[in-house]
């Protein structure tokens, strides 16, 4: 039902349509400014590994995107980043396929035994999904953004 491949320049405009609000874009990356633009994706992706898109097999169209980045504090440790699924593909298995692909890339290509991710506390759907997929909380950070405070929950999954 789904296929995957590396990100291509032609995918960027489609990915920019996935976040439906500033809040959804914040979940994808607090560094992004709404509305998302191809330049924002490319500027962040240049320091990332395995930028990957998921394609719906029947239509051959991009339905999800993610990448991986290195942990600055721990050697051979990596984080899943910029996870986003098209609104039309949510709840249809694309996110699980994306998570499986990215976990395999972290394990087999980057040779790491665990994968981390950050999920914001207001993203209850994401937290439930990651928990169901085997990720466990290990830390949290409080961020001040403007006059608001946000809690980010750090989660980890063993890949071995």
Instruction: Encode the chain (160 residues) as per-residue pLDDT tens digits.
Output: 999 999 999 999 999 999 999 999 999 999 999 999 999 999 999 999 999 999 998 889 999 999 999 999 999 999 999 999 999 999 999 999 999 999 999 999 999 999 999 999 999 999 999 999 999 999 999 988 778 888 999 999 999 9
* Domain tally, the chain: 1
pLDDT score for 146: 79
Predicted structure pTM score? 0.96
Q: Residue 33 domain-assigned? A: yes
Q: Residue 128 domain-assigned? A: no
Q: Residue 105 domain-assigned? A: yes
Q: Residue 158 domain-assigned? A: no
Q: Residue 22 domain-assigned? A: yes
Beta strand ranges found along the chain (DSSP E): 2-6, 49-56, 61-70, 78-85, 114-120, 136-145, 148-158
Q: Residue 144 domain-assigned? A: no
Q: Residue 61 domain-assigned? A: yes
CATH number at residue 14: 3.40.630.30
Q: Which domain holds residue 60?
A: 2-112
């Amino acid at each position: 039902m789904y296929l995957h491949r590396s990100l291509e320049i032609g995918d960027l405009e489609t990915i920019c349509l996935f976040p439906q609000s500033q809040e959804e874009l914040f979940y994808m990356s607090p560094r992004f400014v709404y509305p998302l633009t191809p330049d924002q994706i490319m500027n962040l992706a240049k320091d990332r590994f395995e930028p990957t898109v998921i394609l719906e097999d029947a239509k051959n169209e991009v339905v999800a995107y993610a990448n991986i980045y290195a942990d600055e504090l721990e050697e051979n440790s990596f984080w899943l980043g910029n996870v986003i699924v098209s609104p039309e593909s949510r709840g249809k298995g694309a996110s699980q396929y994306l998570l499986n692909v990215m976990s395999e890339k972290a394990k087999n290509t980057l040779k790491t035994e665990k994968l981390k991710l950050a999920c914001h506390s207001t993203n209850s759907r994401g937290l439930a999904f990651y928990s169901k997929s085997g990720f466990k909380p290990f830390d949290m950070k409080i961020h001040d953004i403007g006059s608001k405070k946000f809690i980010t929950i750090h989660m980890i999954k063993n890949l071995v």
